[in-house]
Structure 1
Amino acid sequence: MRAALALVMLAGFFVLAVALAGGLTAIAIWRFSIGDPEGGVWMLVVAIGLGGPALWATLRALFARPEPSGFQMARETYPELWRHVDELAQVAGTRGPDDIRLVDGANAAVWERRGVRYLELGLPLVAGLSVGELRSVLAHEFGHYGGGHTQLSAMTYRAKLALQLSLRGDRVFGLLSAWAHLYALVAASESRDHERFADEVAVTAAGRDAARRALLRSGPVGEAWSDYLTTYVSLALIAGRTPPLLEGFRSYLDHPRRVHELRELERRMAELEPTSVFDSHPPIRERVATMALLTGGDAPIDERPGWTLLAGIPAEAASFLIGVQGPPATWPELVALSGPAQVRRYADALRHAGKVSKVGETLADVLAALERGELHKLTGRPVDASLTAAQVHEVAVETVTELLACTVADQLVSANRATLELNWGGMFVLRLPDGAALYPEDLVEPAVRDANRVPEVRLQLQAIGVNGL
C-alpha cells in the first residue's frame, strides 16, 4: 500500500507542478485579454519561474536511462563468484542477476531494466570482507529481487531524477517543496521495510553472524578504503605507476593497528549513526539487534578473503576503477619514488595553515602555538556543524598530527638524515642513519594532544637532527 502511495505522490508532484504552471499561465492570458499587459507579463514570469523547473526536469528525466558501469564480471571468467551468486539466489527464492559489475565504492546494489537484472558489487567490499560476509551482502541484495523491490526501478529512477532536478536551487514554490518532502517520508518508510525483508534473507542464506558482521564492517571498510586511497594510492598517482592494489588494501587491513582502528570504528559508527524519518535504511544498530532475534541462520562463517572469489581478476580492472595508470611497481618502490613528494605536500599544507591562521609558518612556530594551546587556530572552524566539540577536537588532533609528522619527515629526508619506508600502520617509517626506525606520527602526537608535552617532544626532535627549534 505504501509503495503504491509513494508512486501516486510522485506522480502527484508533477501533476501539481503542471497545474500550478497552467493555472498561472491562464491568469496571465486573462490579464492580457483585459488590457493589462504589465500584469500579464509579471504573471507569466511567475508561471515560468515556479512551474518551469519541474516541467523541464520531467522532460529530461523521461529520456534518462540507468546504464551499467564498472568492470564486467563474465560468468566464464569468474566461475567461483557466479557459483556463490547462483546458490544464494536459489536460497533467496529468486532469479539471480544476468550481469555483475565490479564498481568503485563500498556498496552493493541491484536493479533491473527491461527484464535484465544487474548486480553492482563494490571493489572495497570484495577486498575488505570475508567470503562469508560478502555472501551476506549478496544475499541481502537478492532479497530485494525476491521481494519485488526492483521491478519498478526504471520508473522510479526517472521519477526521482526529475524530482531531484526540479528541486535544485532555492527558487522552489513552498507547496512543491512540502509535497516532495512528504513523498520522501512515505518512500523512506517503504524502503526501510524493504531493507528489513532483505536482512531476513541475508540471515537465512549466509548465517546470522556473517550478516551482522557484514553490516557492522561495511561502513568502516568504506572509511578504510578512503584512507587507503588518500594515503597510499596517492603515491601511485604521483609516480605514474601501478602497484598491486587489492593486495595493498589487504595488507593495510591486516596490520594490527588497522585491525584495532576498524574495531573501534565499527563500535563508534553503530553507536553514533544519526537517525531521521527520511532515512531509507534503519540504523545499523537496530538492524543488528533485529538479526539477533531471528530464528535459524546458524551457518558458520567462511573466513577466506572475499577476493578469493575473483581469482584471475586482471590488475587493470582495479586500476581502471580507481583511476591508476602506468607500468607496474611494488609498494616499496612507490615509497622511494613518491614518498618525498608526498611528505613535502603535507608539510606545505601545514605551512599554509600556519600562514592563514597567523600562527607562523615554521615548525618552531607550530610547536609554540601548540604549547600555547592554540591547536584549533591551525584547523579553523569545522565544516560539519553536526559534529560535537569532542569530535571536532579529535579531527583537529588527527589532522595536525599527520601534517606535523610529515613536516618532520620532510625536513629529515631533505637533509639526508633519514629515508622513508613503507608502513601499513601509518604513513611512513623513518629509517635513521644508525638503522633505528622512527614513527613520526607517534613521536609528535603527544605534543598535539597535550600542550604540556611540547617541550619533551621538542627535545626529542632536536635529538634526531630536526633544526630550527
Structure 2
Amino acid sequence: MSTSTRAVTAVTLLIGFYLLALGIVVGLIALDVALYQASGTFRPGLIKIWALTAAVGYPVVRVVFLTRRRKEDGELPGVLLTRERQPEIWAMVDRISERTGVRGPAEIRLVPEVNAGVMEESRLLGLVPGKRHLVIGAPLLIGLTEGELESVLAHEFGHYSNRDVRLAAVTVAGRRAILHTIGGLHHRANQHQAQEAAKLAAKAEKRLAKGRKPTTEQAGGGVDRVLAKLFTGYAKLYFRVSEAVGRRQEYAADQVAAQLAGRDATAAALRRIPALEAAQNFYLNRYATIGWDAGLLPPPGQVYGGLQHLLSDPKRRAELAEHALELPEEQPDPYDSHPPIHLRVAAIEALPDDGRGPGAAGPALALLHDSERVLAELEVVSLVPEASGKHRADWPELVRTAMLARAREAGEDARRALTGLGLPPTAHGLLDALDAGRAWEFTDQLPKSEQAAAATGRAAREFARPALREELAHATVVALAEAGLAGWELSWGGPAELRLPDGFADGFDAALDAACADDPDTAPLRALLAAAGLPASAAAV
C-alpha cells in the first residue's frame, strides 16, 4: 500500500470512527422501532427493552458527540526565537527553506526536549494551509555540530515538502478523538464498577451479619466497558494504518536531509540523538536536580545548559561515542510513528558517498546568540512552578550542599536510635555508646532484615556488625562535613567525590574495625577526629 493510499485510508478510518458511533445509535433506535412495529401495539415489556437500548446508546452519544474536549492553549511551549535576536539560526532555516523550495515556518521556538518538530495550523482536514511552526530542542543545540543540526532541520523541512504536516493534523486529531472516547468510556465504567462494588460490599456485610455466606459476585464495568473494548479494537486498526504512514514519512524526510546536509552528517545526527537523549536524562537526574530536595538549583541557564559540561568531559564523550556506534536493534512497532533508529541509519549509510563529509564541525550552540540568557528564559517557561522558590547555587556549592543534605537524611535512623538510648545524637555520642558496651542496644533500634531480626546471640551480632560499622563511618563523615573539614566535590566524569582531611583515609578503616570489634577500642577513631580538628561538641551525626 502506497503512502498516499495509506493517508487516504487513515482519513477514511477517522470518518469511520464517527460513523461507527452513529451506527450504534441508529441501530439501537431502529431496533426499538422494529420491536414496536412487530408487537402491533404498546406493551409494558417494551419499556424494559427501550431502557436497555437507551443504556447502551447514551454513553456513545454522551462521550463521542456531546463531551467538549479541552481546547489546546493558544501559546505554544518554549521560548520564541525571533529573527532580530537569533539571526544565525534563522539564516540556516531560510537557507534550507530556499533549497527545498517550500514555505518556511512563521516562528521558531526553543524547547527543553531532545527533539525537533514541525506543525501547521491547517484546516479542513489539512486541505487549507495555515501558519507553520518549527521547534528545536535545546539539547540538540548543545550536543550537535552545525552540520548535524542542519541535517535535523532539513529532515523537518522534508516533512513540509512531503506535506506530511497537513496529514499529521488529521492523524493527531483522529488519535485525540479516539483516545478521548476510549478514556471517557473507561472512566464511566470505573465509576459504575466502584458503585457496584460498594453495593456488593454492603450486601455481603448484611449476609455475614445474618450468619450467611457472601456471594462470589464481582462488580463489572457494565455496558461502558463493553463499548470501550469495541472502540479500542477500532483504535488499534486506526493506529496501525496512521502510524504506518508516519514511518514512511520518516524515511522520506531522512532522504531529504541527506540530499541537503549530506549523507555523513545525517547518519551522524541520527546516531547521536539517542545517545544525546540518554545523556540529557542522566544529566537532569544526576546533576541538574541533585539539590532539588535541599531547595537548590544550578545557576540560571544551567538547568539545561549544564549539559554541555557533561558532554565536554572526556570520559562521558567516550561513553556517548560508544553509545552512538552500538545502536540497539529493535523490532519495528506497528503502533509507533517512527521506525527503529538502526533501520533509519542503515538506510542513510547505504546511500552512495556524496563526498561532503560530516559538514560544519562547529558546535551548534554557537548559532544561539546570548545562549545563557535564552536558556535561562527557557527555564522560566518550562520548569514546574516550585522551581521559582529554589535557591540558585554555583555547581561546587550545589554538589556540596546537596550531598550533605542527603547524608544528613541517611543518618536519621542513627539519630533516632541514639536519642532513644538517651545519648547525644552525635558521632562522639555513638563512640560513647560503644565504650559503654551499648553497641547492640544501638543496632537493635535500627531497621533490619527479617533474617537479622530473627537471629539471636552471636549470629545477631554478626548481622548487626556491618550496620554498626556503616553507621559509625557515616556519622564520622557527616560530622567532618558539618564542621567544614570534609565535603563532596563535583565530578562530571562520575559520582561526586568525597574529600576527607589529609591523612584521614589512611587510618579510617582500621579505626572503624577497632571501634566495632567485640572488645571495642574507640581511641584510634577519636584520635583521627581530634587530629582533623573536630571538637567533640561538633561531631553531629
Mapped pair 1:7 → 2:65: no
Task: Map 1:238-387 to 2 at 5 A.
Answer: 238-243=294-299, 244-245=301-302, 246-268=304-326, 270-295=327-352, 296=354, 298-313=356-371, 314=373, 315-320=375-380, 321-323=382-384, 324-325=387-388, 328-344=392-408, 358=450
- Matched residue type, 2:342: R
Change (3 A) 1:217 1:358: farther
Residues 92 and 142 in structure 1, CA contact (< 8 A), matched pair in contact too: yes
- Matched residue type, 1:415: A
Name the counterpart of 2:498.
430
Deviations 1:237-282 (A, max 9, x none): 33444424154211111222222332343345x2243422222112
Residues 10 and 238 in structure 2, CA contact (< 8 A), matched pair in contact too: yes
Deviations 1:80-116 (A, max 9, x none): 1111111122222212111111112111110011521
Mapped pair 1:210 → 2:246: no
Residues 207 and 299 in structure 1, CA contact (< 8 A), matched pair in contact too: yes
Name the counterpart of 1:416.
480
Name the counterpart of 2:182.
167
Name the counterpart of 1:104.
112
Change (3 A) 1:107 1:346: farther
- Matched residue type, 1:10: L
Counterpart-to-counterpart distance in 2, 1:217 and 1:368? 48
Mapped pair 1:462 → 2:517: no
Residues 268 and 358 in structure 2, CA contact (< 8 A), matched pair in contact too: no
- Matched residue type, 2:173: R
Residues 7 and 167 in structure 2, CA contact (< 8 A), matched pair in contact too: no
Deviations 1:148-177 (A, max 9, x none): 111244444332211111122372454432
SS in structure 1 of the partner of residue 69 of structure 2: helix
Counterpart-to-counterpart distance in 2, 1:20 and 1:249? 54
Gap regions ≥5 residues in structure 2 = 37-41, 123-129, 190-224, 414-445, 454-459, 518-541
Q: CA deviation at 1:217?
A: 1.5
Q: CA deviation at 1:333?
A: 2.1
Residues 283 and 307 in structure 2, CA contact (< 8 A), matched pair in contact too: yes
Residues 403 and 488 in structure 2, CA contact (< 8 A), matched pair in contact too: yes
Residues 110 and 150 in structure 1, CA contact (< 8 A), matched pair in contact too: yes
Residues 200 and 294 in structure 1, CA contact (< 8 A), matched pair in contact too: no
Residues 148 and 358 in structure 2, CA contact (< 8 A), matched pair in contact too: no
Counterpart-to-counterpart distance in 2, 1:210 and 1:285? 16
- Matched residue type, 1:414: V
Task: Map 1:138-217 to 2 at 5 A.
Answer: 138-168=153-183, 169=186, 171=225, 172-217=227-272
- Matched residue type, 1:196: Y
Q: CA deviation at 1:347?
A: 8.0
- Matched residue type, 1:316: A
Q: Of 3, 27, 30, which aligns to 2:31?
A: 27
Change (3 A) 1:93 1:19: same
Task: Map 1:30-179 to 2 at 5 A.
Answer: 34-35=43-44, 36-50=46-60, 52-56=62-66, 59-60=68-69, 64=72, 67-114=75-122, 115-168=130-183, 169=186, 171=225, 172-179=227-234
Counterpart-to-counterpart distance in 2, 1:188 and 1:98? 27
Counterpart-to-counterpart distance in 2, 1:131 and 1:232? 26
SS in structure 1 of the partner of residue 289 of structure 2: helix
Residues 291 and 401 in structure 2, CA contact (< 8 A), matched pair in contact too: no
- From the CA coordinates, give the structure whose radius of gyration is larger: 2
Name the counterpart of 2:202.
none
Residues 102 and 121 in structure 1, CA contact (< 8 A), matched pair in contact too: yes
Number of residue pairs matched? 402
Counterpart-to-counterpart distance in 2, 1:420 and 1:462? 19
- Matched residue type, 1:23: G
Counterpart-to-counterpart distance in 2, 1:163 and 1:247? 38
Residues 24 and 43 in structure 1, CA contact (< 8 A), matched pair in contact too: yes
Counterpart-to-counterpart distance in 2, 1:44 and 1:347? 63
Name the counterpart of 1:402.
none
Counterpart-to-counterpart distance in 2, 1:51 and 1:162? 14
SS in structure 2 of the partner of residue 430 of structure 1: strand
Residues 203 and 297 in structure 1, CA contact (< 8 A), matched pair in contact too: no
Change (3 A) 1:44 1:255: same
Change (3 A) 1:92 1:299: farther
Change (3 A) 1:142 1:52: same
Counterpart-to-counterpart distance in 1, 2:270 and 2:116? 12
Counterpart-to-counterpart distance in 2, 1:305 and 1:274? 33
Change (3 A) 1:275 1:358: farther
Change (3 A) 1:38 1:121: same
Q: CA deviation at 1:41?
A: 1.5
SS in structure 2 of the partner of residue 60 of structure 1: coil
Residues 171 and 242 in structure 2, CA contact (< 8 A), matched pair in contact too: no
Deviations 1:304-338 (A, max 9, x none): 22211112131522322345445653211212332
Counterpart-to-counterpart distance in 1, 2:447 and 2:329? 35
Counterpart-to-counterpart distance in 2, 1:265 and 1:464? 43
Deviations 1:366-404 (A, max 9, x none): x979x9xxxxxxxxxxxxxxxxxxxxxxxxxxxxxxxxx
Counterpart-to-counterpart distance in 2, 1:464 and 1:303? 54
> What is the aligned-residue identity percentage?
33
Counterpart-to-counterpart distance in 1, 2:323 and 2:60? 45
**Which region of structure 1 is more displaced relative to structure 2, 98-107 or 330-339?**
330-339
Change (3 A) 1:42 1:412: farther
Q: Of 221, 225, 237, which aligns to 2:280?
A: 225
**Which region of structure 1 is more displaced relative to structure 2, 25-34 or 126-135?**
25-34
SS in structure 1 of the partner of residue 133 of structure 2: strand
Residues 239 and 334 in structure 1, CA contact (< 8 A), matched pair in contact too: no
Change (3 A) 1:173 1:327: closer
